[in-house]
Amino acid sequence: MIIAVDGMGGDHSPAEIVKGCIYALEEISGSIFIIGDEKRIQKELSQYQYDNDRITIIHTTEIITNEDQPVKAVRSKKDSSIVVGMKMVKEKKVDIFISAGNTGALMTSALLILGRIPEIDRPAITAVYPNPAIKKACLLVDAGANSECKVNNLVEFGIMGSIYCEKVLNIKNPRVGLVNIGTEPGKGTPIIKGAYKALEKTNLNFIGNVEARDLQNSAADVIVCDGFVGNVVLKLSEGVAFAFIELVKRKLKESILAKLGALLLIGKLKELKKELDYSEYGGAPILGVKGAVIKMHGSSEAKGVKNAIIRAIPYIENNVVDMIHDEVSKLHTASTEEEHNE
Amino acid sequence: MIIAVDGMGGDHSPAEIVKGCIYALEEISGSIFIIGDEKRIQKELSQYQYDNDRITIIHTTEIITNEDQPVKAVRSKKDSSIVVGMKMVKEKKVDIFISAGNTGALMTSALLILGRIPEIDRPAITAVYPNPAIKKACLLVDAGANSECKVNNLVEFGIMGSIYCEKVLNIKNPRVGLVNIGTEPGKGTPIIKGAYKALEKTNLNFIGNVEARDLQNSAADVIVCDGFVGNVVLKLSEGVAFAFIELVKRKLKESILAKLGALLLIGKLKELKKELDYSEYGGAPILGVKGAVIKMHGSSEAKGVKNAIIRAIPYIENNVVDMIHDEVSKLHTASTEEEHNE
């Protein structure tokens, strides 16, 4: 098994990426290709003792930054770590590509180079949505790739997310929930109402509508929504959590007793910030394309990188990409038969 | 000036509603009609000393609960406090109606009894969105009445919200922002892109797109979005904040030092919860109907009720309903002229 890791993506590359790869070697078998500037990656690697046979540097000369316009960057920067990594997946030289780089460029290159699974109308970017208060997390599909969705897109998000949860996150019979403005079946826009009915007909463990106030409460394992709502959910959660930390800090400075209390608590507050850190969860897949790709949070540090690499193993071993293909084909066959019978 | 208050709506009626009215009397001139069960309201009133001439009970026999289906309830419960209050606004027997009752029933009765301002395609429910970390708040339009919106609806939300902010909340030249998945003008769905262009053409202080992560940061005074997104923003913020409080509590129990720290902090944590309490902000209007209506949070206590009543004064004195009518008429005239000139 060969895992390709983007050495140049994210806020802490290549140092934390390389460190994460070294950590991961101890927990997995198989080998790692680190893609990026050979000199810079070699310099990081030289700090560690490791089995040289298991890490290979694939040298690239270009970098796609977060400021790059995705489509333009993917088309023009052919020797970037993202484009090269995606091509290696396409050519089956590696089993999976993991990157903390420009999300738009990752999605674009996945679509252009790997292509979508034919039965999937719109591939999705997913995100791990942490529920730190109950030490759980759920998978949000779509996290921002498709700001406008049709009914079948939302149903496909549910199927893809469910398979990933079951096979990679090891959650049995994952609960699939639809983000809506109320829990009753008749709520929401016509598309959301349609998605509710269509999801009910699948063999998924569809638990119905989930209100935004329950997302932090592990209301479902797979959270289905369009990419606009998904983006709002992720960014708002981040915003509210950070505002809350500021508010706590301000409160703690307001009296001497509170200041003393804060001193005693400082370690716990640091832990708190860590539990809110999405990168701890080791990335989430781009689903619906013909190849395995995991997107890590841009701020991923070594632990996040290690976790993403560990998660890649069941992703590859269980052939999640093929499973998605099969499941969605079945759904299409079933709905065609239903139409014939009507 | 006569302010009508729903004595039966909300989780703490009539006790906290009546108490709030008594508090408000000291800060406003004019009188208050409390609408609802005379006996129960009189019992509450009898606990206080106040100027009898300034509070009148309007007896009603029916109650619309939060479990009632709005349209059905408004049609069948003719002698409910909501229906009676709304009719008194329509008949100009009172200047404004304030209620903490069933939001759907309030919106429905406002539409059926008052009717919409002719130039407004879709009236909106608004909400005060608190930014406690910076001790500010903004107005969210729409907070859930219209889950699907056209371009002109979003523009009208911006205009109505801006007038309310300026005239009632006393914010000069309020900043109007559009909730979007990125700050760049080309982001979002076709409708959001269209709304961006249309809002730019108005004479509003339109500051462009606002990402969800900046909503807690007072990125704008008026936050424009469709009711689906508005509902997600409000409920998710509540969910994240409560999850965060649970997380803090859990952390505080994890060690003896932290427990001691927590003891010293307990007063501050209580204050924190209060700052997150939406009801502190005294309600928000239903905009776009032919009459003044303020919706309070269902959990409003006396302070929230008092604040809502105080806010009603500039709402009435500045004739906000007529101003909205005038501003939107101007916009329609301008766009008709533009079409002629093209």
Residue B342 scores a pLDDT above 60: no
Relative to beta strand B124-131, strand B284-287 is: antiparallel
Residues A82 and B35: their CA atoms lie apart, in Å, by: 66
What phi and psi values does residue A26 have, to the nearest 5 degrees?
Answer: -75, -20
Place of tokens 């003719």: B78
Both tokens of A59, joined, read 């040298």
What phi and psi values does residue A101 have, to the nearest 5 degrees?
Answer: -80, -170
Contacts of A130 in chain B (CB under 8 A): none
Residue B279 scores a pLDDT above 60: no
| Listed residue (A6, A4, A5, A17) closest to A45, CA to CA | A17
| Listed residue (B29, B60, B15, B22) closest to B313, CA to CA | B29
Which alpha helices (DSSP H) does chain B contain, by range?
15-25, 38-45, 70-76, 81-90, 103-109, 151-167, 190-201, 227-252, 256-275, 302-317, 320-341
Please give, rounded to a whole number of angstroms, the shortest distance from the CA of A188 to a CA of chain B. 6
Type of residue numbered B161: G
Contact A5, A98 (CB under 8 A): yes
Please give, rounded to a whole number of angstroms, the shortest distance from the CA of A158 to a CA of chain B. 19
Relative to beta strand A31-36, strand A55-59 is: parallel
Q: Which residues of A241-260 are buried (b: 16+ CB within 10 A; e: fewer)?
A: bbbbbebbebbbeeeeebee
| Chain A residue at shortest CA distance from B268 | A251
What phi and psi values does residue A131 have, to the nearest 5 degrees?
Answer: -115, 75
* Res B296: pLDDT: 92
Average pLDDT over residues B17-33: 96
Residue B274 scores a pLDDT above 70: no
Please give the full DSSP string across A232-271, using - where no structure is assigned: HHHHHHHHHHHHHHHHHHHHHTSSHHHHHHHHHHHHHHHH
pLDDT tens digits for range B27-43? 999 999 999 999 999 99
Please give, rounded to a whole number of angstroms, the shortest distance from the CA of A44 to a CA of chain B. 34
pLDDT tens digits for range B46-102? 999 999 999 999 999 999 998 999 999 999 999 999 999 999 999 999 999 999 999
Please give, rounded to a whole number of angstroms, the shortest distance from the CA of B107 to a CA of chain A. 16
| Chain A residue at shortest CA distance from B148 | A189
What phi and psi values does residue A178 have, to the nearest 5 degrees?
Answer: -105, 125
Contacts of B231 in chain A (CB under 8 A): 181, 212
Beta partners for residue A32, in sequence order? A3, A55
| Chain B residue at shortest CA distance from A232 | B212
Contact A32, A21 (CB under 8 A): yes
Contacts of B179 in chain A (CB under 8 A): 232
Residue percentage of chain B with pLDDT more than 70: 90
Residue among B228, B240, B263 minimizing CB distance to A216: B240
Under an 8 A CB cutoff, do B247 and A272 touch? yes
Contact B123, B149 (CB under 8 A): no
Under an 8 A CB cutoff, do A232 and B242 touch? no
Residues B110 and A318: their CA atoms lie apart, in Å, by: 56
* Res B340: pLDDT: 62
What are the angstrom distances between the C-alpha of A2 and each of A29, A111, A185, A309, B238? 9, 22, 45, 11, 44
Both tokens of A18, joined, read 């390389």
Q: Which residues of A303-314 are buried (b: 16+ CB within 10 A; e: fewer)?
A: bbbbbbbebbbe
Under an 8 A CB cutoff, do A261 and B257 touch? no
* Res A124: pLDDT: 97
Which alpha helices (DSSP H) does A77-139 contain, by range?
81-90, 103-109
Beta partners for residue A141, in sequence order? A126, A224
* Res B269: pLDDT: 66
Relative to beta strand B124-131, strand A222-224 is: unpaired
Please report the sign of the dihedral spanned by the C-alpha atoms of residue B63, residue B68, residue B74, residue B75: negative
Which alpha helices (DSSP H) does B117-188 contain, by range?
151-167
Residue among A188, A215, A264 minimizing CB distance to B147: A188
Residue among A144, A234, A268 minimizing CB distance to B254: A268
Q: Which residues have C-beta within 8 Å of that of residue B213, sequence separation ≥ 6?
A: A235, A236, A238, A239, A242
Burial (CB < 10 A; 0-12, 13-18, 19+), residue B71, is middle
What phi and psi values does residue A247 have, to the nearest 5 degrees?
Answer: -65, -45
Average pLDDT over residues B170-188: 93
Both tokens of B280, joined, read 């502190």
* Res A277: pLDDT: 61
* Res B181: pLDDT: 93
Average pLDDT over residues B229-252: 84
| Listed residue (A8, A18, A236) closest to A127, CA to CA | A236
* Res A246: pLDDT: 78
What are the angstrom distances between the C-alpha of A236 and each of A15, B132, B216? 30, 15, 8
Relative to beta strand A205-210, strand A124-131 is: unpaired
Please give, rounded to a whole number of angstroms, the shortest distance from the CA of A334 to a CA of chain B. 31
| Helix and strand totals (H; E) in chain A | 11, 11
Please give, rounded to a whole number of angstroms, the shortest distance from the CA of A230 to a CA of chain B. 9
| Listed residue (B222, B4, B238, B242) closest to B101, CA to CA | B4
Contacts of A268 in chain B (CB under 8 A): 251-252, 254-255, 258, 261
* Res A242: pLDDT: 81
**pLDDT tens-digit profile, chain A (342 residues):** 999 999 999 999 999 999 999 999 999 999 999 999 999 999 999 999 999 999 999 999 999 998 999 999 999 999 999 999 999 999 999 999 999 999 999 999 999 999 999 999 999 999 998 877 677 789 999 999 999 999 999 999 999 999 999 999 999 999 999 999 999 888 999 999 999 999 999 999 999 999 999 998 888 999 999 999 999 999 998 888 888 777 777 777 777 776 777 776 667 666 666 666 655 667 899 999 999 999 998 888 999 999 999 999 999 999 999 999 999 888 777 766 665 665
Contacts of B258 in chain A (CB under 8 A): 264-265, 267-268
ipTM: 0.88
